[in-house]
Structure 1
Amino acid sequence: MRALVARGFEDLTAVQTEVASADVARDLLVSAQTGSGKTVAYGLAIGDTLLADAERLERAAEPLALVVAPTRELAMQVERELTWLFEGVGGRIVSCVGGMDPRAERRRLEGGAHIVVGTPGRLRDHIDRRALDLSQLKVVVLDEADEMLDLGFREELEFILEAMPAERRTLLFSATLPDAIVSIARRFQRDAHRIETVSDTRGHADIEHRAIRVMPRQTDAVVVNVLRQQDAAAAIVFCSTREAVRRLHQTLAKRGFSAVLLSGELGQAERNRALEEIREGRARVCVATDVAARGIDLSNVELVIHADLPHDAEVFQHRSGRTGRAGRKGVSVLLAPASRKRKAELLLSDIGANPVWSGPPSAQDIRELDEQRLHEDPAISAPAGEGELEHARALVERMGADAVAVALLRLHRARLPEPEYVQDPGEWAAPRERRAPAVGQGGVAAPFEPREPRRRADFGDSVWFRLAIGRKQNADPKWLLPMLCRRGGVTRNEIGAIRIFDRETKVSIAADAAERFEATALGSEKGDVSITRADGPDASAPAPETRTAERAWSPHPKPEFNKPERVKSGYPKRDRGNVERPNAERPMPERADAAPAFAKHRADRPVHSKPHTAKPWGARPGRAPAGEAAGAPAHGKPFRAKPAHRASGFRPAVKAAKHAAAGSKKK
């Protein structure tokens, strides 16, 4: 009690009062809101068990109490809280967390400890190496037990609980009580007293929930404006992935915010340095993932922004619990695009919050707030000192009152990040109801009445933009149109002609939407299509995507050849047109009658060979034409006589002999 009074405690929270009044011999199953003072609550329970009626603790030896936390940050926070709470009674607290030197932790354990605080993995490692002796343990605390199960520490948790003495006191604290937590409580607790300070129908009383509609690809800009509007002493922005954390942190740093990031890829020293900057006020914004931010205890956090929607209501509750801690007020802002509106409403409903949906704060609203804050700035309203007043009068006499006021206004605006231009998507329309088909007379369905076509925007004064992608990159309006709407924050009716060329594409945007499109879509990120301003395409040139039914003209037409009629034999084709009987056959002409016709056909046949290699009909390379002496050259090539084995049929005999020899070898 002396420690609580010295710390500035006037009243205990609900969970602290319930735990302090519970029986010191019973196990406890406690569910309370995040940030409701659970650490001090089970610190009081541990003190009742360890001290009993004594004024001070005995000399430290084997641990008497063990606190298991899911993350390093939460374990270190618990160590700090228990240190000042047990300092007056001689308590010694030792932490064992991942990322620290295990040899130094082993030396501290050998020196003795009353309370050990650690993460499941590191505690199991010390137990396996016999550096942590749990034989004298009187009480164990499982802090954020639901998060330990979500992170996959169930096996380590069961191993630690089984290594403890059977006669112990088990305190289980969790913001939510899923079935897995209830199962562990039934297995490792005995006649546990249930304490529940979480209401199923009411959200956290100290947190004001707000929901903001955002346009696609404007989330980062809306985060900037929300931070400028709230002007919180410290804020945490939650993202789903490490890449999103890194990208948003770079965006805020470029805008002039003093921001730090927390993700799983940072080492323990870097994480401690980032948290220390937030605590000391050197940084005002922390961009973090869900796992990295679990267990963070920053007393000055006044704002939480959900840049990405949480996966479920439990994660949403843990995120929001980073603010509004220990009776302080906080604000939780949820950003939701139109495509995720239904999920956002379900998340808010699950935690019992009923926020008012609104659009993002505009740049004009933020500038008006800046002027109001300037008038209320303590630097202006506070009384001036004697030296300051003399210097101020000298400045006014030298430069004039107007010049001094303008300089003050410029200095005030220079230290503030510039607000972003954002668009309010407006009220989301309710889903369209399906109408029953109209029925005419006699039960016959009425004729279908087509709807009026949507009117497109007036593109008399349109602005053209160039996309660095064309037909060779498979550019197609089917996916270009939704991409332009998503990146530029425009509707389909505000997009005009789309001209696709070989290596680029030009798009016309309505004049009233061009400024908005240029503010959000220009430039490119990793994997995006680069968009820049451009001049309109040549009106005299034909549209690139124009298609006609006829074949397109080509400068190199495909030649058409007149193939000659092929004759299978040397006889002329029979004319069966004058045959009287169907099966009748005309007698074959004599050879002497057919010879003149065959000679005429051979003379009329076109020659497709080159002029200098043209040969008479029937000539072949390597064979003398008929009527020439054997061995005479044919068309400039020497005549090659047929080998003797080919002429006499010797080759088949040689083949047969080879096959017979091969068969005998196989046998």
Structure 2
Amino acid sequence: MSISNLPTRLAEALEQRGYSTLTPVQSAVLEDQAAGRDLIVSAQTGSGKTVAFGLAMAPELLAGEEMLPPAGAPLALIIAPTRELALQVSRELIWLYSPAGARIATCVGGMDASKERRTLNHGAHIVVGTPGRLRDHLERGALDLSSLRVAVLDEADEMLDMGFREELEAILDATPEDRRTLLFSATMPRPIVALAKRYQRNAFQITTKSDDRGHGDISYQAVTVAPADIEHVVINLLRLHEAETAILFCATRDNVRHLHASLIERGFAAVALSGEHSQSERNHALQALRDRRARVCVATDVAARGIDLPTLTLVVHVELPRDAETLQHRSGRTGRAGKKGTAVLIVPYPRRRRVEQMLHGARIPAEWIDAPTPEQIRAADRERLIAALLQPIETDEEDVALAERLLAEKTPAEIAAALVRAHRSQLPEPEELIEATPEARRAAQQERHRPGFDDTVWFRMDIGRRQNADPRWILPLICRRGHITRNEVGAIRIAANETHFQIPAQLAAKFASAVDKFARTAGDDDDGIRIERATDAPQPGARADGPARRGPPNRSNANGKPGGFRKGPPRGR
């Protein structure tokens, strides 16, 4: 359908926004067989679905008129899973329906609820909100759904995944039975089918997702890494691409917090988004990305819902998505509006087969690549620097005078070298990685020789991977207990339920004495971890870490599997 066939006011709004044609999903919801019916719509992220359901509900709102009637009880309700997505939907509907005189109210968690209630009392044609806040207004009597003509569930599968089933049912049960229900869902799991069967009548299903499940504007890459190198690979990927805006996906808010802190420490301009951040903090973070004050966003899946950043060209899956749909939802933050984007999966060696199966099942053609090396990054830096410095520039008299003064005191070569040095000093250093070969991986599991550690004594601790043992807090604990420095600790081997570490033989007696004294006098400072001389060397299968390798410590999740980021000892330790 062409724009000229739409209601006059909506056509004017679309033309002002630069629309010349409608996207496939926008055209599909306006076809004759979809008119007036309940709809189940599956469409790719970034396909224009917000405008699609805005156009689909026009007959119920306008009822053949050019302007909406005076505002009262809402005629349309849009439910979205997150605050950011609800606010984005509200912004889209405002420009689309403002020419028709629409009043739109937004009701989301984290905002002033009393102000929202006053807005609802003054009347609204369209209400956009999140399930929890909408149910709260409904139960308090501030939200009157008795006149509702159309209800829209945006990203319904996500709302059910987030545990909003009761809220959705309470809201829909309060609406008239003859309302029209539009359900937008990327996937159709059984809970969605059950929801559709209960609240929709003779629904018409629309699928505009391409058979190319990989999304044509996104280049997928996968890189296998040693589990201990995950964070280092993240650094190198950011440095290699130097993307205008990048988003890094983690599985939990704790991992978001840790990775964000690591990036800040290394000099990256980064922000974080997770469930622990308030709406105000989210707004500040997103504005920093839009203003280019920040270039990297570390986020969880849920927190990133609804984010639309035109400059986003790189998505890194720091922790693997749970399935192909999540992979596409995450990656769909980039490659929008005809722009190209890159999505990179960081795959620990033990999980490569699982990722290959997921990509194959989803028909996503991913290129398996090696992790970027410092040499590759420095070569890319040189090319970027030369390209930037050779760009035409505009100068004024002050610039010329300063340049002449520099030339009088330094040679052109010295000035150029100083410029290059100043540029490089602003860039975080690339990280050295474990080689991506079977031999190197086996070598990484073994101890590495260090001068002064030819003759050592093994000690053991009664904690291991299952208790979240991590060299980042084990090493300071050893030094504190034994009155030694970190350079006097050799290899650290972490097994399932115990940890072994080396002390030079000439320091072993002094170390054992200090440890025994601590055990006798610690009192309230005792954290319950016992250190004692080992009766034999650790088994070769134990994982080796420690000062012998000055890289990131082991990272394990609560199940001992690689891929997570732990920040300290478990509770009770």
Of 459, 478, 481, the match for 1:471 = 459
In the alignment, is residue 59 of structure 1 matched against residue 70 of structure 2? yes
For the residues of structure 1 that align with 2:435 and 2:421, how far apart are their CA atoms? 29
For 1:192-591, what aligned pairs fall within 5 Å after superposition? 192-199=203-210, 202-377=213-388, 380-387=390-397, 388-426=399-437, 463=451, 470-471=458-459, 473=461, 502=512, 518-520=549-551, 526-527=567-568
In 2 relative to 1, CA 357–59 (structure 1 residues): closer, same or farther, beyond 3 Å? same
1:486 Cα offset (Å)? 11
1:487 Cα offset (Å)? 8.4
Match in the other structure for 2:25: 15
8 Å Cα contact 2:106/2:127 also seen in 1: yes
Q: Is the deviation greater in 347-356 or in 154-163?
A: 347-356
8 Å Cα contact 1:302/1:330 also seen in 2: yes
Tell me the amino acid that sits aligned with residue 373 of structure 1. R
For the residues of structure 2 that align with 1:417 and 1:220, how far apart are their CA atoms? 14
Match in the other structure for 1:38: 49
In 2 relative to 1, CA 455–518 (structure 1 residues): closer, same or farther, beyond 3 Å? closer
For the residues of structure 2 that align with 1:327 and 1:229, how far apart are their CA atoms? 23
1:201 Cα offset (Å)? 5.5
Percent identity at matched positions? 50
8 Å Cα contact 1:471/1:504 also seen in 2: yes
Tell me the amino acid that sits aligned with residue 78 of structure 2. V
8 Å Cα contact 1:217/1:486 also seen in 2: no
Match in the other structure for 2:106: 95
Match in the other structure for 1:127: 138
1:521 Cα offset (Å)? 5.7
For the residues of structure 2 that align with 1:33 and 1:274, how far apart are their CA atoms? 26
8 Å Cα contact 1:467/1:504 also seen in 2: no
In 2 relative to 1, CA 32–459 (structure 1 residues): closer, same or farther, beyond 3 Å? closer
1:456 Cα offset (Å)? 13
Tell me the amino acid that sits aligned with residue 195 of structure 1. I
Per-residue displacement from partner, 1:554-578 (whole Å, max 9, x unpaired)?
xxxxxxxxxxxxxxxxxxxxxxxxx
Per-residue displacement from partner, 1:377-421 (whole Å, max 9, x unpaired)?
1x5311443523454344223311011101110121122221111
For the residues of structure 2 that align with 1:202 and 1:340, how far apart are their CA atoms? 22
In 2 relative to 1, CA 161–365 (structure 1 residues): closer, same or farther, beyond 3 Å? same
1:286 Cα offset (Å)? 0.9
Match in the other structure for 1:137: 148
In 2 relative to 1, CA 458–276 (structure 1 residues): closer, same or farther, beyond 3 Å? closer
8 Å Cα contact 1:469/1:475 also seen in 2: no
Q: Which runs of 5+ in 2 are unaligned?
A: 1-10, 472-488, 495-500, 513-531, 539-543, 556-565
In 2 relative to 1, CA 2–427 (structure 1 residues): closer, same or farther, beyond 3 Å? farther
Pairwise CA RMSD:
3.8
1:317 Cα offset (Å)? 2.1
For the residues of structure 1 that align with 2:403 and 2:444, how far apart are their CA atoms? 60
1:362 Cα offset (Å)? 0.6
In 2 relative to 1, CA 519–155 (structure 1 residues): closer, same or farther, beyond 3 Å? same
In the alignment, is residue 49 of structure 1 matched against residue 60 of structure 2? yes
In 2 relative to 1, CA 302–487 (structure 1 residues): closer, same or farther, beyond 3 Å? farther
For the residues of structure 2 that align with 1:296 and 1:400, how far apart are their CA atoms? 49
Secondary structure at the counterpart of residue 549 of structure 2? helix
1:459 Cα offset (Å)? 11
For the residues of structure 1 that align with 2:49 and 2:94, how far apart are their CA atoms? 15
8 Å Cα contact 2:80/2:86 also seen in 1: yes
8 Å Cα contact 1:360/1:423 also seen in 2: no
Secondary structure at the counterpart of residue 390 of structure 2? helix
TM-score (norm 1): 0.67
For 1:162-181, what aligned pairs fall within 5 Å after superposition? 162-181=173-192
Per-residue displacement from partner, 1:433-464 (whole Å, max 9, x unpaired)?
xxxxxxxxxxxxxxxxxxxxx99999998545
Secondary structure at the counterpart of residue 550 of structure 2? helix
1:522 Cα offset (Å)? 7.6
1:363 Cα offset (Å)? 0.8
In 2 relative to 1, CA 422–134 (structure 1 residues): closer, same or farther, beyond 3 Å? same
1:5 Cα offset (Å)? 2.4
Query: How many residues are aligned here?
Result: 491
For the residues of structure 2 that align with 1:114 and 1:458, how far apart are their CA atoms? 67
The structure with higher relative contact order (CA 8 Å, sep 6+) is 2
Per-residue displacement from partner, 1:282-337 (whole Å, max 9, x unpaired)?
11111111222222222322111111112222222221122223333211110011
For the residues of structure 1 that align with 2:62 and 2:227, how far apart are their CA atoms? 58
Q: Which runs of 5+ in 1 are unaligned?
A: 430-453, 490-495, 508-512, 529-667
1:186 Cα offset (Å)? 2.0
For the residues of structure 1 that align with 2:206 and 2:439, how far apart are their CA atoms? 42
For the residues of structure 2 that align with 1:423 and 1:392, how far apart are their CA atoms? 45
In 2 relative to 1, CA 322–383 (structure 1 residues): closer, same or farther, beyond 3 Å? closer
Per-residue displacement from partner, 1:566-618 (whole Å, max 9, x unpaired)?
xxxxxxxxxxxxxxxxxxxxxxxxxxxxxxxxxxxxxxxxxxxxxxxxxxxxx
1:172 Cα offset (Å)? 0.6
